[in-house]
Structure 1
């Protein structure tokens, strides 16, 4: 004959407590979890496919990394990227990096590029793949790449630049910004300038026409 399962006695306080705990505790957990979601900041839902999660774990890459610090010249430096992954020992490859440098004098520079490398021991970064640079005082530049010393705040181009300035267009073989020359742009190595004054610049006054004195009769 089959044995009937033993049920806890209704008058046993411990058994009643255990039975109710199996129901109440999961409900409490669900309530806490719901509260967590209710009080977090509402953002657009993010859906990451399982295959992408496996790829991230396998390749040891991280999405949307960011770095911020202060250079010795007082400049605030911030670097962000869409993705970062190891590239050898203490070096990291960064995808579509963006850099922002705010000098102590109030000027600044924004840099974007297609790719780059972050050197941790050297405290430096290299941005390459058509780097675009824009300054707060009206300069827009394009070059093949730039290097940034994160300790001193100095930025240098790695090739020739095409520059659109407030006063015209220029080309240069080299550009340096920040560091000991905080907030200053320095162009060198074959600088060529096409001067284009602003349209609202005041035109010089024409000299008064000279007339011959009438002959005396």
Structure 2
């Protein structure tokens, strides 16, 4: 039979992990933490998982969502995450997904191997195999991307390649910005476009 002291110790260990994550969500005023609730009496983790989470200070499947100052919705989710820094106001995540949706329905989905979120600056940095898919059919790949989650501003950190309806484009940098009330994706630095007439046949030239 499991002793009460063992259960209490596990509870204390888990609390040491969850409380900094709760504090992180409160400090990040842009976001509301959303998590699925277990049924009454249910236990979300097995005993071995409780010990692993307490030891590694991580939480599974965190989700954050909110609105930017210009009304776009943003959400972040990950396979696992853990607090970083002495004050616990930063978060490192694995298998990160970022979704941005404008008020008029434009959408950008971003996936990356790893990422970090800083509550104080309200920025996220995604790294490793970054793929950016737009609702207009454009696929952009790069190695790192920085997102300002208080406004609408995405910026690649390094070269990008974009495959769209009219061909393939290479550039040194890509930015998603709001300009004159419109959301535009801007490519700059050594821009090279390889036009593919077969790819654009019967389609518009919209990027």
- Determine if the TM-score, normalized by the shorter chain, exceeds 0.5: yes
Checking the alignment, whether the CA contact within 8 Å between 2:155 and 2:174 is kept in structure 1 is yes
Cα separation, 2, equivalents of 1:64 and 1:93: 12
The TM-score normalised by the length of structure 1 is 0.68
Question: The residue matched to 2:105 in structure 1 has which SS?
Answer: coil
Contact 1:167 1:195 in 2 (8 A): yes
Greater fraction strand: 2
The SS at the match of 1:54 is helix
Structure 1 position 46, deviation (Å): 9.3
The 5-angstrom pairing of residues 39-58 of structure 1 reads: 48-58=45-55
Q: Which residue is 1:171 aligned to?
A: 170
Higher relative contact order (CA 8 A, sep 6+): 2
What count of residue pairs does the alignment treat as equivalent? 159
Q: Secondary structure at the match of 2:186?
A: strand
Question: What corresponds to 2:119 in structure 1?
Answer: 120
Structure 1: give runs of 5+ residues left out of the alignment: 1-39, 202-217
Matched, 1:66 2:63: yes
Q: Distance in 1 between matches of 2:71 and 2:177?
A: 10
Q: Structure 1's 46 and 130: CA in aligned 2 closer, same or farther, altered over 3 A?
A: farther
Pairs within 5 Å for 1:25-36: none
Partner of 2:186: 186
Partner Cα distance (1:47, 1:69) in 2: 25
Let me know the Cα RMSD of the aligned residues: 2.1
Unaligned stretches of 5+ residues in structure 2? 1-38
Deviations 1:135-164 (A, max 9, x none): 001100110010000000211101101110
Give the Å deviation of 1:62. 0.9
- Judged with a 3 Å threshold, the aligned counterparts in structure 2 of structure 1 residues 151 and 180 are, in CA distance, closer, same or farther, namely farther
Determine which of 178, 197, 200 is the counterpart of 2:202. Answer: 200
Contact 2:178 2:184 in 1 (8 A): no
* Structure of higher CA gyration radius: 1
Moved more, 48-57 or 171-180: 48-57
Q: CA offsets per residue over residues 41-71 of structure 1, 9 Å max, x none?
A: 9xxx998553332010122211110111111
Give per-residue Cα distances to partners, 1:119-140, cap 9 Å, x unaligned.
0101110010110000001100
How far apart, in 1, do the equivalents of 2:187 and 2:56 lie?
40
The 5 A counterparts of 1:87-166 are 87-88=84-85, 89=87, 90-166=89-165
Q: Choose which of 54, 61, 81 in structure 1 pairs with 2:78.
A: 81
- Deviation (angstroms), 1:74: 1.3
CA 1:137–1:49: 2 relative to 1, 3 Å: same
Instruction: Note the alpha carbon deviations across 1:104-133, whole angstroms, 9 max, x for none.
Output: 222110000000101010111001011000
